[in-house]
Structure 1
Amino acid sequence: MNGYSTSRAFLEALHEGGVRYVFANLGSDHPGLVEAYARARADGTLGELPELVICPHESVAMSAAHGYAQVTGVPQAVVVHVECGTQNIGGMLHNAAKGRVGVLLYAGASPFTQEGELPGSRNEFIQWIQDVHDQRGIVRGYTKYDNEIRTGHNVKQLVHRALQLARSEPAGPVYLVGPREAMESPAPEQHADPAFYGAIAPSALAPEVVERIGDALAGARNPVAVTSYLGRDPEAVPAMVELCETLALPVLESVPMHVNFPGDHPLHWGYQWNEQRDNPLLAAADVVLVLGSDVPWIPVKNRPSRDARLFVVDVDPLKEQMPLWHVAAECFARADLRTAVGQLTAYVRDRVDADVVADRMARAAAEHHRQVRAQVERERPDGDVITPEYLVACVREAIDENTIVLTEAITSYPVVSEHLRRSRPGSLIGSGGGSLGWSAGAAIGVKLAAPERTVVSLIGDGSYLFGVPSSAQWVARRYGTPSLTVIFDNRGWKAPKMSTLGVHPDGVAAQRSDFPVGFEPEADLPGIAEAAGGAWGRTVRVADELKGVLAEALDVVRAGRSAVVSVHVPPT
């Protein structure tokens, strides 16, 4: 045996496929991987394998890979321990699936022999307990592809196919398992050319669809575009600006997790979240173009006019993984958004009425400036009380356009969008899903992907605790990925309270203010980061201290140390 194993071939294939980091939570199923890395260090070939990043909690590993892929577009790998580790990444797997982010997840499997028949046969009691009927079935509702590595003879083919599926739109997570015997077995040395496993080419709109949508837009009096994740592709944003300026087409961002349109552009018409009211701008539209959105509006409270013409263009126009979903559109089209926007711009350029466009541009700009003035009016502290609006305004003043901001502020999502007003594509990202705790690990992945940029997370105290901050801060310290975490600390879960009020506005819980959502006694949130990761930490309770603390925290981060600032906002 020359020491070349299935595990070595597996790691080589990841490296060939563009995987720079393996975010790993190791267990008894990974001796083959540990040995492969040790041999590589010994024989000087470590550069042929991805760098191993040890993560003491699986959710941190998964969200770190998620964050790296969001910045670079390149899927990274996560290694977890059999079905236990697989289940521990559940919430973060949901985020990658719903956010359409490519991640390759690998888990070992309990050995399938128990008498020493093969190298890797069972030799620990836990391997009987962790043997389950359908380990791959645990994740099948969230992955694009799953398979088992049975031999080293075709392991590279399986890895490259998995990465090809992970990065092809709609992107998403993939899952491979490998029993210990297969991963320990000798394998023939093999070479695979990743050039033959590229992502599928971007798809375009059919000519008749371009004509149908283009004619509707060119003939509209009050058209509106709605988007949530067009900015997943930063290069799609300037293409969107060109289309909108050609038509004077205003843009509403609905539940945005990216910079989809510059926040300072006069055609930006604001953001939609869970507001329990109609948006009059959407209701007045005669043509609505939905470009990449899972929830363009919430029909029970806010929807376009029934007479409006609706068009949906998306990489996933029918939301095939959502059992209940419908928009009353006359046309659904599957296309790459940047490509589709370019096609529409080329079509409408010579078909618009210049006077209509000029008039619409003036009206749209007036509405944009009205919204900004109203936002500025709210950006004042209430005496010593720090409002979320004032907090975000202070962060906006403290950072630059090159900063990457991660948003996981939940009930303050709208405040972050409105008052941060990011304009550079890729400078604001969210998880894209609904499982909390993403930002803790994502900040690590984002910093590894863009080491020259400052990373700031704006999160709620609930999100902070969900993120296993002790594990995340330790990883950040070990691998040199400092970031600033700013916590909207309302000392509780505001979201369940708001959900209850939304259904029972006059219920007993509302009348008696009986909501079991408080976090008392208060936890020392920065102290967790200080103890586990050597971070710099402060808690801010009064408004006049905030700007100075943020400035000091950013200086600390730029000097190479993480910082956590917990800011007391009005309590839940």
Structure 2
Amino acid sequence: MYTTGTAFLEALQEAGVSYIFANLGSDHPSIIESLAIAKQENKELPTLITCPHEFVALSAAHGYAQATGEPQAVIVHVECGTQNLGGAIHNAAKSRVPVLVFAGASPYTQENELIGGRNEFIHWIQDVFDQRGIMRGYTKYDNEIRTGANVKQLVHRSLQIAKSDPMGPVYLMGPREAMEEKTKPVTIQKELWEPISPGAIPPPKIEELINDLVAAKKPLIVTSYLGRNPEAVKELVRLSNRLAIPVIESIPHHMNFPADHSMHCGSYWNEPNQVDILSEADFVLVLDSDVPWIPMKNKPSDSATVYYIDVDPLKEQMPLWYIPSKRFFKADSYTALKQLNDHLEEHGKIDQKMVSQRWSKYSEFHEHKKEERLLLEQAENDFITPEYLTACVRELMDEDTIILNEGITNYGVISNHIEASIPGSYYGSGAGSLGWNGGAAIGMKLAKPDKTIISLTGDGSYLFSIPASVHWMAKRYNTPFLTIIYNNQGWRAPKNSTLGVHPHGIANATQDFYVNFDPTADLSTIAAAAGDAHAITVKKRSDLKNAIKAGLMQVKNGRAAVIDVYIPHVYSDKNEITNVKETVK
């Protein structure tokens, strides 16, 4: 029997989808039966990964797409499963990750008129007026499968939209009767459904940009996610080398520019201070960044010339957003940088003396920042600072490691101290809903089985990741990875936010922020119980390196590991840490 469900699965296979991350329900009999038939007939279809929670399913698809650029599929149960995707759909949307989400829908017949009609009480309970509306604020496209006659066209169109810049999630739904409908096979020419070609800088504007860039005495480049395309990293290095342009990263969620490059001048997160290199710049080129700076705390001078190149320079899904710029270009960063570099090859007005002076200045600055970081990593007491913890990870990882950063209030520490220098070796979620790290690690391990995946996460974001589901999946599907928890026993972010608005308020005076996790849970053993992960708790600095070595050994031997590392408490007065940082100053 060839049904709409069969054709749907075939379309995913034709489009290059490798995995379906699924949380199945009463709306999926056609999918389940088609998979069973295909297995019996040795018919090749995407591999189905059973996911006990929908948030983890979409996070895994998110991680896979980040690592490969290729969208995967997620199957969830009617509107309940759709809502259980929760913040994961926010993450996929804001991070511009291509993924196809499919949900069934309650049957629309109830007296046996069609195959698949209502035969369980939940078919009435789960029938809602606008199931697609649940997703509409986060998806690039949504539609309903009504017949098998054009289901393949809908799947290919959905994925074409998902993969075209700015990329993002798409949503299809199909009621049982439509998915059970007998239909005829349709042949699709895959090459006719390719994503839209990347955008470029309009040729008449290239010369203007180059003239402003070459004339600048203190040019600067700011980026956040240019590294989603490793080839763009190479072109950025080429541009920086030619003109000695320093690069800083704002909340980086990819490896955008090698940390060991002399023109790399650091990254920043929510720090409440002005970055001097930004305020001194007379020309700023923003490449792929949603928030290149936070104007209340840190911004360029009013006299600086700003150019903005981005796949989404208008930020159409951000109601309040503006960065006044001389020019905005909706362009692919690799394409734009290639244009600039090729034109510079023929440009005869480059002041090589100024370039040389700039190289000397920012190389010295780069080395100074590196020395500062090293001092912060050398705490003498036996408590563990986030800087020291990150330095230990950096020391013990190898070139085949992928780092995931969901450290939240330690995000900036991790991005600066991990010193990622290989394209594709570092990722953040790119968004704001916590818990991405666990599912993403599974997705990345499926995409890059030869890599060692290390997830660096706060205790709050670890709990948000639904670790029981994550580690059950890691064991079942042989995707071992190392999790290191920066455990400050609470949520420091709400505390910091409150202090940012009410620095002398009652909450500060009473130290009542309602964010601590006391009494503390034994976080690592959650993973041990659910997925036989190797569980380690570390409270002393002297035990840390051996614990990380043991965790990495377990992962290399095929077993996931979780190291729960105690850092200063969320309610700590941080005097000891402050003393260390004052020594650096």
Instruction: Give the TM-score band, short-chain normalised.
Output: over 0.9
Letter of the 2:412 counterpart: P
SS in structure 1 of the partner of residue 111 of structure 2: coil
Separation in 1 of the partners of 2:218 and 2:143? 50
2:98 pairs with 1:98: no
1:399 equivalenced with 2:397 (yes/no): yes
- The alignment's C-alpha RMSD in Å is 0.7
TM-score calculated relative to the size of structure 2: 0.96
Q: Please point out which of 358, 364, 369 is paired with 2:367.
A: 369
Counterpart residue number, 1:227: 223
- Equivalent residue in structure 1 for 2:194, among 177, 198, 210: 198
Residue 272 of structure 2 aligns to which amino acid in structure 1?
Answer: Q
Instruction: Name the structure 2 match of 1:495.
Output: 493
Residue deviations 1:511-546 (CA, integer Å, cap 9, x gap): 111110000111111110000001001000000000
Which moved further from structure 2: 538-547 or 206-215? 206-215
Q: Give the secondary structure class of the aligned counterpart of 2:329.
A: strand
Give the Cα–Cα distance (whole angstroms) in 1 for the partners of residues 165 and 145 of structure 2: 24
Distance 1:53 1:347 in 2: 48
**Structure 2: which 5+ runs fail to align?**
571-585
CA distance in 2, matches of 1:165, 1:470: 34
Name which of 443, 446, 470 aligns with 2:444: 446
- State the alpha-carbon separation in 2 of the partners of residues 496 and 560 from structure 1: 37
Name the structure 1 match of 2:566. 568
- 1:158 maps to amino acid: L
CA contact 1:215–1:348 (8 Å) conserved in 2: no
The residue number in structure 2 matching 1:187 is 183
Output aligned runs, 1:408-427, within 5 Å: 408-427=406-425
TM-score, normalization by structure 1: 0.99
What residue number does 2:153 align with? 157
Contact 1:381/1:543 (<8 A) preserved: no
Structure 1 equivalent of residue 112 of structure 2: 116
Residue of 324, 328, 335 corresponding to 2:324: 328
Match of 1:468 among 466, 469, 478: 466
Query: 2:513 — aligned with what?
Result: 515
Match among 517, 521, 524 for residue 522 of structure 2: 524
Among candidates 263, 267, 288, match of residue 263 of structure 2: 267
Matches of 2:271 and 2:91, distance apart in 1: 23
Alpha-carbon displacement from aligned partner over 1:234-278 (angstroms, at most 9, x marks no partner): 111011000111111101100100111001111011112111111
Aligned ranges 1:73-84 → 2 under 5 Å: 73-84=69-80
SS of alignment partner, residue 449 of structure 2: coil
Residue number in structure 2 paired with 1:483: 481
Instruction: Write out aligned runs for 1:21-60 (5 A).
Output: 21-45=19-43, 47=44, 49-60=45-56
Q: Give me the whole-angstrom Cα distance separating, in 1, the residues matched to 2:350 and 2:118.
A: 71
Compute the displacement of 1:381 (Å): 3.3
The number of equivalent residue pairs is: 568
Give the C-alpha shift of residue 71 in structure 1.
0.7
Cα distance in structure 1, aligned partners of 2:526 and 2:504:
39
Counterpart-to-counterpart distance in 1, 2:368 and 2:352: 24
2-structure distance, mates of 1:33, 1:378: 54
CA distance, structure 1, for counterparts of residue 340 and residue 270 of structure 2: 30
| SS of the residue 1:235 aligns to | helix
Q: Contact 1:314 / 1:333 at 8 angstroms: preserved in 2?
A: yes
How big is the shift at 1:347?
2.1
Post-superposition Cα deviations, 1:333-366, rounded to whole Å, max 9, x if no partner, equal 1111001011111223433111010000100101
Separation (CA, whole Å) in 2 of partners of 1:213 and 1:225:
13
Distance across 2 between alignment mates of 1:16 and 1:155: 13
What do residues 365-410 of structure 1 show as CA deviations (whole Å, max 9, x unaligned)?
A: 0111110000000002341100000000000011012201111000
Q: Which amino acid aligns with 1:201?
A: S
Task: Quote the Cα distance in structure 1 between the aligned partners of 2:334 and 2:278.
Answer: 23
Q: 1:44 Cα deviation (Å)?
A: 2.3
1:67 is matched by which residue type in structure 2?
A: G
**1:381 and 1:465 mapped to 2: Cα distance?**
28
Deviation at 1:449, TM superposition (A): 0.2
Paired with 1:348 and 1:360, the residues of 2 have a C-alpha distance of 18
Task: Say which of 410, 431, 434 aligns to 2:432.
Answer: 434
Q: Deviations along 1:174-230, whole A, 9 cap, x unmatched?
A: 000000000011110122121111111112111122111111110000010010010
For 1:63, the equivalent position in structure 2 comes to 59
**Identity over the aligned pairs, expressed in percent?**
56
